[in-house]
Structures are given as C-alpha cells and as structure tokens.
Amino acid sequence: MQLHFSPSMRSITISSSNNGFIDLMKIKVAARHISYRTLFHTILILAFLLPFVFILTALVTLEGVNNCSSFDCLGRRLGPRLLGRVDDSGRLVRDFYKILNEVKAGEIPPDLKLPDSFDQLVSDMKNNQYDAKTFAFTLRAMMEKLEREIRESKFAELMNKHFAASSIPKGIHCLSLRLTDEYSSNAHARKQLPPPELLPLLSDNTYHHFILSTDNILAASVVVTSTVQSSLKPEKIVFHVITDKKTYAGMHSWFALNPVTPAVVEIKGIHQFDWLTRENVPVLEAVENQNGIRNYYHGNHVAGANLSDTNPRKFASKLQARSPKYISLLNHLRIYLPELFPNLDKVVFLDDDVVIQRDLSPLWEIDLEGKVNGAVETCRGEDEWVMSKHFRNYFNFSHPLIAKNLDPDECAWAYGMNIFDLHAWRRTNIRETYHSWLRENLKSNLTMWKLGTLPPALIAFKGLVHPIDPSWHMLGLGYQNNTNIESVKKAAVIHYNGQSKPWLQIGFEHLRPFWTKYVNYSNDFLRNCHILES
C-alpha cells in the first residue's frame, strides 16, 4: 500500500496491488473544511484498515472463491460473512440424517418398484422427481435385496463345494478300477508285499513304522513317496497301508508295480484283520447301519434347514461335520492300533491328506514322558481357523453331560500326524472310553458333538497327550487360502485338512504344487485315466 500527497496537500491518493491489479482511492481535501489534524487521523485509520481488507481478500482467494480485482467484488464476497450469514449445508446434512433414521425404522412400501441397476435408479429419480424419503427407501430396498442374493449365493457355493469334496474324482475312480483289473490279470500286481524274506521287519521295533489308513490310491502314493524321499534313513521305513475291501486289489497293485525301495510296504485290507469283528467294534457297526445316522451324513443338508438363523461360516462347519468319511470304519481305525499291531511299540499314524517334507525319524527319539499320544496342540496360535481351537470349538457345552465332564478352555490337539506309544496305550482304557462316549452321543441324537472322530478322541486321550513342536505338523492347507508359503516350506508335515484337497479341482492352486511334486504323472495308469499335472 502506498500513499501519495499532492504538492498542494489538497488530495491524497491511496494505491494497493492485489494479484497484479492496482486499486486506487483518491481523497480530496478541502483546506477550509478539514484540518491537518483530522487529515492525519483519517490517514492513520485507513492505514490500519487496508491490511485487513487485503488479508480478507487473500482468504477468499485461498478458499476457492474467484479472484476479486476490485473493492466492489470484494464487498460482494465478504458482505454475507460480515453480516453473519452462514452456509445451509449443515442443516441439509442434519435433515438427511433425520430422513435416514425414519427410513431405517420404517417399513418398505410393498408397492415400491425397485430398479435393476444404478443407472435406472438415476433415470427414475429424474423422471419421477423422487423426494429424499422415497430415494432412501428405494436405496434401502436395493441394498437388502443385494444382501439376500449374496447370502444365497454364498450358501449355494458352500453346498457345491461340499458335494465336490465328498465326491470321488473321475480320474481317481478310474485309477482304482484299472489297477483292480490289473490285479486280476497281472501276476506282478499280485506279488506278495512285502517279499517273504522281509516279513520279519513288519514287527521289528528297531524300524520306523508308519501307519496309513485310506481308500485313496493316489493320495496314499503321495504320502508314502514323500515320506521315503524326505527320509535320511529310508531303509529303516516300514509302511503299513490299511484299506477297505473294495480298494484292496487296486492298492496292492499300485505298490507292487511301483515299489518305493529301500522302504518296506505292507498292504492290508480291513477284512484281513481277524480282530475287527462286531463284538469288538459294536458302536461302529451301529453307526454304519443306523438309518438316522446315515441320513444325517448322506441326506439333503439344505432341506428343512433355517439358513436365516446361521451364517456362512457356521453352515460350512456343519457341512464339514456331515462328511460321509466320518462314518467310515477307516476313519475310526486309529483307535484300535494297539490291537491291530500287537507286536509294535511305537508308530507314527498319518492321514492320507498330508505331505512329508522332512525326515521324521527324530519323532521316535521324543520322550513322551509316559503319555500315549504325541501331537501338535491347536490352541497356541493367533488365527481363529486352525491354531486357536479349544474344547468349546468341538463340543456342545449346553449338554449337561458335556458341561459336567469337560472344560471348555482345555486345549485341543490335531489328528493327521501323531506319534503313538502303543506299549503305554495298552495299559489304558482309551478304547473303552471312546466307545462309551460314542454311545452317549448316539443316544443324544448327535447333540453332544457333530464333527467326526476327533471329539471322542479328545475325551478318550484326555490327560494322555504330550505336546510336540508345531513345526512338525502344519494344518489348514485345505481351507485356508491365505496360508503363509514360507511357513509351508519350513514345516515337516503339511496337512491339507479341510475340503480343498490338492487332488480336487477346488484345491488351492498355489498350495497344490507341494503335493503334486510327489505324483509321477508319467505313469501309464495315471495317463490312461487322464490324471494330468495342472
């Protein structure tokens, strides 16, 4: 800002520059009407006010208002502010919130026609001149419809996944049939396993004995092959593969034609164990024959179900609990190991959905401290799906018998890779306890627990479990898509427990290579059954 006095002191010119524009103000001073003292005071007042005018102008510019190059423009912009006028946007927001609350509490008009898309909604608003309340009701109805459709789609997806997981892939079924046919026509496929000279090794406790119970030939081949290839002492390995009567010939053919030397493999069918009689396994016979139980596992899992009272995660758990494998004798067989292998002292039991990536011989050196079952505990981790399991996750504690006898906070443990001290086991009543609780659950119409063979085992082995390091057994590869790959690489045994088995199309693509690396896709039987590397 600059002041210019005329030589005669009869006029004063005040100039200021704002964004390249110059504002001028000229004041004429009449000597006979104004004194120098008054003039001086006037100049002081103007000098005091003009900087504030400049600052206000700058603020208006910074707030996005168009540049003002004159006092007239400045007045138009600043006038409402100086007069105390306020923006109405706050009141509009409050009114809108009020309408939303009314719509939330109200009923959607039954005759409200919903648009099929957002574009149609905008078009309807323009054409029908919706008020705010009608618009809010329409938006609410559209969102609720979308939520219902998403929910129904999720349940349908879970059902389809359940059926996919429960079915036998065409290639694996073909493999079993072709190998069974080979057993009847090829003497090499029928050769004795193991050879007669190696039979004494089947009960030699200086060897490392693994037990595998399965009717899946391809899965069994991966378990055995990965164990042998990962071992530092494969010549010390003895595998006891147990299968059912219908799969026995095919399983025998596979290992007869594809030996895993120097390891020893024995194939036995359930029908070949004299001990497995109705007298010794009465509860399991009842489980397989009772119509209500079979309907529970094989029936329509949606009919009569109130899906509005559950969520997709709970529904998925219920479907998994209804897997038909849970009424298979092969799945319950592990509870009879001391009787089935009376000459063995210590064994490692493996599920058919595991892959061994490290030498397991150190497991035999673990001191179980008098306990029966060496297992990884599943309550020590942070993830809620796999490693944060307690008894409350498996049992119905509203049942009086469960509430009376069990602690909901007790830590659970995992099946899939267990080191069993059969010598210590034979001094317990584990089998009797297992049978007793199975009977009680049958009497209560399966209301004490739903999920398979682990819950009764959690009770039967109560106080007899020795925790082993979690690095021995990593779980969850069959239902955790976000499994950490680096952790998978470091684990001794990886377990594809869950529905997404690696031999199924629903298996996780990034986790499947850990399994497929042990499949010989050049094998003629696999190629003829179109079992191809994906």
pLDDT tens for 171-188 read: 999 999 999 999 999 999
Give the dihedral sign, CA 319/324/325/329.
Answer: positive
Residue 64: is its pLDDT beyond 50? no
Please report, for residues 176, 248, 327, 500, the alpha-carbon distance to residue 251 in angstroms, rounded to integers and kept in the order given: 8, 5, 21, 23
Could you tell me the pLDDT band of residue 306, with boundaries at 50, 70 and 90? low
Q: Measured between alpha carbons, how far is 355 from 488 in angstroms, rounded to an integer?
A: 11
Largest Cα separation within the chain, whole Å, is 140
Indicate the average pLDDT of the chain. Answer: 82
Per-residue model confidence (pLDDT) at position 117: 82
Give the dihedral sign, CA 530/266/415/310.
Answer: positive
Alpha carbons within 13 A on the beta-carbon side of 91: 3
Give the three-state DSSP class for 40: helix
Q: Which residue has the higher pLDDT, 351 or 328?
A: 351
Per-residue model confidence (pLDDT) at position 272: 93
For the record, the structure tokens of 167 come out as 């079915």
Per-residue model confidence (pLDDT) at position 277: 79
Q: What is the Cα gyration radius of the chain?
A: 40
Q: CB under 8 Å, gap of 24 or more: what pairs does 5-10 form?
A: 9/36
- pTM beyond 0.85: the answer is no
Per-residue model confidence (pLDDT) at position 410: 96
For the record, the structure tokens of 54 come out as 């400049």
Q: Measured between alpha carbons, how far is 160 from 166 in angstroms, rounded to an integer?
A: 10
**Alpha-helical segments (H) within 385-464:** 400-405, 422-425, 430-443, 454-460
Could you tell me the pLDDT band of residue 317, with boundaries at 50, 70 and 90? low
Write out pLDDT tens, residues 191-246.
Answer: 999 999 999 999 999 999 999 999 999 999 999 999 999 999 999 999 999 999 99
Whether the CB-CB separation of 148 and 140 falls below 8 Å is answered with no
Q: Which of 284-298, 302-316, 351-365, 369-383 has the lowest mean pLDDT?
A: 284-298
Q: Measured between alpha carbons, how far is 263 from 406 in angstroms, rounded to an integer?
A: 42
Whether the CB-CB separation of 316 and 187 falls below 8 Å is answered with no
Domain boundaries, the chain: 119-165, 169-471
Per-residue model confidence (pLDDT) at position 304: 47
Per-residue model confidence (pLDDT) at position 33: 53
Q: Which 3-state string (H, E, C) describes 116-133?
A: CCHHHHHHHHHHHCCCHH
Per-residue model confidence (pLDDT) at position 66: 47
Residue 43: is its pLDDT beyond 80? no
**Please, what's the b/e burial string for 215-236 (b: 16 or more CB within 10 A of its CB; e: otherwise)?**
bbbbbbbbbbbbbbebbeebeb
Alpha carbons within 13 A on the beta-carbon side of 201: 21
- 169-471: CATH topology is Spore Coat Polysaccharide Biosynthesis Protein SpsA; Chain A (3.90.550)
pLDDT above 90: percentage of residues in the chain: 49
Nearest to 352 by CA among 493, 175, 527: 493
Q: Measured between alpha carbons, how far is 234 from 236 in angstroms, rounded to an integer?
A: 5
Residue 286: is its pLDDT beyond 60? no
pLDDT above 70: percentage of residues in the chain: 73
For the record, the structure tokens of 45 come out as 């007042």
Q: Measured between alpha carbons, how far is 190 from 250 in angstroms, rounded to an integer?
A: 10
Counted residue by residue, the chain has a size of 534
Could you tell me the pLDDT band of residue 303, with boundaries at 50, 70 and 90? very low
Average pLDDT over residues 76-92: 58
- Give the helix, strand, coil percentages of the chain, each rounded to 5: 50, 15, 40
Count of CB atoms within 10 A of residue 426's CB?
A: 14
Per-residue model confidence (pLDDT) at position 77: 52
Could you tell me the pLDDT band of residue 383, with boundaries at 50, 70 and 90? low
Per-residue model confidence (pLDDT) at position 260: 96
Q: Which of 60-69, 191-200, 250-259, 446-455 has the lowest mean pLDDT?
A: 60-69
Q: Measured between alpha carbons, how far is 262 from 198 in angstroms, rounded to an integer?
A: 11
